[in-house]
Amino acid sequence: MIDHLRALAVFSSVADAGSFRAAAKKLGLSASVVSHHVTSLERYLDTPLIYRTTRKLSLTAAGEQLAGSARAMLRSAEEGFSEVGHQTSNPTGLLTVTAPAIMQYARFVTRTSTFMKHNPNAEISMSFTDRRINLVEEGFDLGLRVGRLEDSSLMSKKLAEGRLHLCASPDYLRSKSPIRQPRDLEKLEAIDLAGVSRPVILTKSGRERKQHSVHMPYRITVDSGFAARRMAEEGCGIVVMPDFFVRERIAEGHLMELLPDWRAPSYGIYAVWPPNSGTNRLRSAYVDFVGAISKTEPQTDRNMRN
């Protein structure tokens, strides 16, 4: 039957146009090709569909019945194409997203709100957790990652970039010798947050652009950004964290930035998704929207915050 659907569409056009020539002109085919499709359909059904005379063309009873069914089929197809086309320009459905808990402080939350306002038929379910999620096993459409990407098997797109800061509490620093050079950091305790590379490479600001590799003694290792920041504020040691997560705490005096003339490495915020997950129009629209906004904003500490 599938092989005859094209012939059925041609027959419907002939029935509506009233002649082979008019149908051929509408379809962009030759009259002989149109006639061939109708003839093949009559052979398949083993019944005449059209009365052919030298003056005019008319449908048989079977032809009238089939023409009605053909018109209904074509209307359904057009409605289906229209619905899918509408979804392409206006994404619909549910998008499941996982992100590190500290990204509640990043500006992408505001960007997500804007995306939802622009796409009223979309739904998003977001899970903020510091546990590293396996997207495939746990059924997430999209993951957001801060720092370096460890799983090269995932598809990815860089959304934004920021700078890491070395911080410690004022009370902790008052109890230690002054920190004037990168090597002084190696005498202090450090809190390791998963995802921050060891050692920390510092680059001197200015023309010299000197680099120093700092090997700090890590006494505490955590996988929670909130816990690492709180421990640093309570005097447990130095922490290396994204700018958007510590900027306010530095401004409020809970933390102090160390060696401001030396720049810690930059970091990326990435969207990642499974490579064999097919085409997800909502996911693509969301990633493109968030990424496009990021590229139009200056990459400053302030832009990475709420």
Locate 52 and state its tokens.
């052919």
Q: Which domains does the chain have, with CATH numbers?
A: 2-89 (1.10.10.10), 93-161+267-304 (3.40.190.10), 162-266 (3.40.190.290)
Query: Among the residues of the chain, which ranges form H helices?
Result: 5-17, 20-27, 31-45, 61-89, 108-118, 135-138, 170-174, 225-233, 243-251, 281-296
Query: Is the entire prediction scored with pTM above 0.75?
Result: no
Residue 146's alpha-carbon distances to 233, 270, 295, in angstroms, are 22, 7, 17
Per-residue pLDDT, 82: 61
Give the pLDDT score at 304. 40
In the prediction, which pLDDT does 296 show? 42
Long-range contacts of 129-134 (CB under 8 A, 24+ apart): 129/98, 129/100, 129/101, 130/100, 130/101, 130/102, 130/194, 130/223, 130/224, 130/225, 130/226, 131/223, 132/194, 132/223, 133/98
Q: What is the mean pLDDT of each run of 10 residues along the chain (306 residues)?
A: 82 88 88 90 90 80 90 81 60 90 79 89 90 86 84 82 90 92 90 73 80 86 90 94 88 93 86 82 89 51 39
